[in-house]
Amino acid sequence: MQLICVYVSSVSQHALAVVVEVNEGERSVLLPCQYSGFIPDDPTVMWTRSDLHPKSVHLRREGGDDLTGQNQRYSGRTSMRSDALDTGDFSLTLRKPTKTDSGNYTCSISDGREELRLRDIQLQVKDEQRPAENWRPQSDPEIPHRERQWRIHLHHLQGQRHPETESSAAGQRSEM
């Protein structure tokens, strides 16, 4: 007699964490949350951050936004699409992100009795990026362009032609 053991594992796609990065100083950042399942009667879409008190970042009900219990640090900075409950696009726009906005956000939907966690978002707000042309290495002194020197080392391999015997056209192409 043979015994067969089958183990089935499944992971809900809705609870997978997503990392969103934005530079501090950007106009806004979008925290994505799409839902294609059944939307219950009298639904409430909730964006929360469990490390804050109050934890509410944004609430959307049938009648519109309910921001009465919203954490004050998000006051006037959050929005959702007006047709979110019709389309299932529960994405949250956070305006003027700052370093203190970095953290874990949860998008969920509730019918007043049960809450379904749809998406976890890890928001990382980075320091504002400087344009590349303004960047200079701190350890190197500024050297004017005409004073820079370049050295090219040519290595002769056995059986290869010597660089000095190359055609003048090749030499012209490799000048600096």
Q: What is the pLDDT of residues 61-114, one digit of tens each?
A: 999 999 999 999 999 999 999 999 999 999 999 999 999 999 999 999 999 999
* Number of domains the chain contains: 1
Q: Is 170 a member of any domain?
A: no
> Pick the residue with more confidence: 128 or 58?
58
pLDDT recorded at residue 70: 98
Domain holding 30: CATH number? 2.60.40.10
Confidence category of residue 128, pLDDT binned at 50, 70, 90: confident
Q: Is 132 a member of any domain?
A: no
Classify strands 17-23 and 115-126 as parallel, antiparallel or unpaired: parallel
Rounded Cα distance, 63 and 84, in Å: 12
> Pick the residue with more confidence: 144 or 37?
37
- Here the tokens at position 6 are 């089958």
pLDDT recorded at residue 17: 76
Q: Is 52 a member of any domain?
A: yes
Q: Is 138 a member of any domain?
A: no
Q: Is 152 a member of any domain?
A: no
Helical (H) or strand (E) element with 164: none
Q: Is 4 a member of any domain?
A: no
Q: Is 3 a member of any domain?
A: no
Q: Which domain holds residue 30?
A: 14-126
Q: Is 92 a member of any domain?
A: yes
User: 58 phi and psi, to 5 degrees?
Assistant: -165, 140
- Here the tokens at position 9 are 């594992």
Residues 6+ positions from 136 with CB-CB distance below 8 Å: 142
* Sheet with strand 44-48: strands edge to edge: 17-23, 115-126, 103-110, 44-48, 56-61, 64-65
The partner residues of 22 in beta bridges, in order of sequence, read 125
